[in-house]
């Protein structure tokens, strides 16, 4: 098991709760509250924005009851990072180990070729995500933060952006490159440009990766990120 590290990225242990331990809830109760749908203690993003949901730390049966009412019979909750075990009647349909990484010593810099994407670019962004599968991307995901893209001949060939925004931290997500342009360093350039923008706003960049994607994890470590903790991504389905 990878131990928790200091949130400044220094590598020393730090105790106590952190918004990073339940980041979707931290986002939905503060910077991203405008996107939240809520029943009791259960929260989720509007489905057009992001599939993520959140419960309180150490959820009770009452919290799970609120979650069931939030999604409806047979509805699904995508719970990131937190390894909550649902009660009887719920079904776990996805169980994906991952890692949470934090900026430790990234040499960030802006990139003139990385242009800010807008709502007009969403169809192209959606198509690039469909072909590269970096993770969920919905019609309004672009509203969650800054998204940057690199074009060649007017065609979008690489992109990345900001997803979860929580106190003091911003998550980098949806980093992907057209298969015909992999190996050109475009993903690294986008990550460095995103880190630059996040730091300029006074926040610390974080990101999440599939634990089995060793190439991506190695790349992020080479850029200056380090693993903060092992995490779990799961989808659970409410009783019908």
pLDDT tens figures, 69-79: 999 999 999 99
Find all residues with CB under 8 Å of 191, minimum gap 6, and list them.
106, 160, 172, 175, 220, 223
What is the predicted pLDDT for the residue at 17?
82
Helix (H, G, I), strand (E, B) or coil at 112: coil
Phi, psi torsion values for 212, nearest 5 degrees:
-85, -10
Paired strand residues for 149:
115, 159
What is the predicted pLDDT for the residue at 9?
45
The stretch 42-66 carries a mean pLDDT of 98
Among the ranges given (3-7, 84-88, 196-200, 208-212), the one the predictor scored with the smallest mean pLDDT: 3-7
In a domain, 3, yes or no: no
What is the predicted pLDDT for the residue at 5?
36
The stretch 93-119 carries a mean pLDDT of 97
In a domain, 4, yes or no: no
Angle between helices 214-223 and 186-200 (to 10 degrees): 50
In a domain, 34, yes or no: yes
Task: Report the percent of the chain where pLDDT is more than 90.
Answer: 93
Q: Is the pLDDT of residue 157 over 60?
A: yes
* One domain for residues 76 and 145: no
What is the predicted pLDDT for the residue at 6?
41
* One domain for residues 216 and 105: yes
Q: How far apart are CA 42 and CA 108, in angstroms?
A: 36
In a domain, 8, yes or no: no
**What is the reported pTM?**
0.91
In a domain, 166, yes or no: yes
Q: How many domains does the chain have?
A: 2
Range of the domain at 43: 19-97+233-237
Report whether 148 contacts 117 (CB < 8 A).
yes
Q: How far apart are CA 236 and CA 61, in angstroms?
A: 15
Among the ranges given (4-13, 119-128, 148-157), the one the predictor scored with the smallest mean pLDDT: 4-13
In a domain, 172, yes or no: yes
pLDDT-derived band at 136 (thresholds 50, 70, 90) equals very high
* One domain for residues 92 and 121: no
What is the predicted pLDDT for the residue at 221?
98
* One domain for residues 43 and 118: no
Report whether 171 contacts 146 (CB < 8 A).
no
In a domain, 140, yes or no: yes
In a domain, 2, yes or no: no
Q: How far apart are CA 229 and CA 223, in angstroms?
A: 18
Q: Is the pLDDT of residue 12 over 50?
A: no
Q: Is the pLDDT of residue 2 over 60?
A: no
* One domain for residues 109 and 224: yes
What is the predicted pLDDT for the residue at 4?
34
* One domain for residues 86 and 155: no
* One domain for residues 47 and 113: no
What is the predicted pLDDT for the residue at 13?
40
The stretch 97-108 carries a mean pLDDT of 97
The stretch 172-185 carries a mean pLDDT of 97
CATH number at residue 24: 3.40.630.30
* One domain for residues 174 and 62: no
* One domain for residues 182 and 119: yes
Q: How far apart are CA 68 and CA 66, in angstroms?
A: 5
Task: Report the percent of the chain where pLDDT is more than 70.
Answer: 93
Q: Is the pLDDT of residue 11 over 50?
A: no
* One domain for residues 45 and 118: no
* One domain for residues 71 and 56: yes
Rg (CA), the chain: 18
- ∠ CA 45-55-60, rounded to 5°: 155
What is the predicted pLDDT for the residue at 8?
45
Would you say how long the chain is, in residues?
240
Q: Could you tell me the two tokens for 144?
A: 């969650």
The stretch 86-104 carries a mean pLDDT of 98
Q: Is the pLDDT of residue 158 over 70?
A: yes
What is the predicted pLDDT for the residue at 16?
64
* One domain for residues 59 and 109: no
């Amino acid at each position: 098991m990878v131990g928790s590290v200091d949130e400044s990225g220094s590598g020393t242990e730090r105790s106590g709760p952190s918004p990073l331990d339940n980041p979707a809830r931290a986002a939905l109760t503060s910077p991203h509250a405008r996107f939240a749908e809520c029943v009791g203690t259960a929260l989720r993003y509007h489905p057009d924005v992001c599939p993520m949901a959140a419960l309180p730390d150490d959820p009770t049966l009452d919290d799970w009851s609120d979650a069931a009412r939030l999604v409806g019979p047979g509805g699904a909750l995508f719970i990131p990072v937190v390894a909550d075990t649902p009660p009887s009647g719920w079904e776990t349909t996805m169980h994906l180990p991952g890692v949470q990484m934090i900026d430790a010593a990234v040499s960030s810099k802006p990139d003139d070729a990385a242009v800010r994407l807008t709502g007009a670019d969403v169809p192209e962004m959606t198509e690039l995500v469909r072909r590269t599968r970096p993770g969920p991307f919905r019609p309004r995901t672009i509203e969650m933060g800054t998204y940057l893209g690199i074009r060649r001949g007017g065609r979008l060939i690489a992109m990345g952006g900001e997803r979860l925004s929580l106190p003091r931290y911003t998550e980098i997500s949806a980093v992907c490159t057209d298969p015909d342009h992999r190996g050109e360093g475009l993903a690294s350039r986008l990550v460095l440009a995103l880190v630059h923008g996040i730091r300029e706003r006074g926040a610390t960049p974080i990101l999440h990766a599939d634990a089995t994607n060793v190439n991506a994890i190695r790349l992020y470590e080479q850029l200056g990120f380090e693993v903060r903790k092992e995490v779990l991504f799961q989808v659970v389905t409410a009783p019908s």
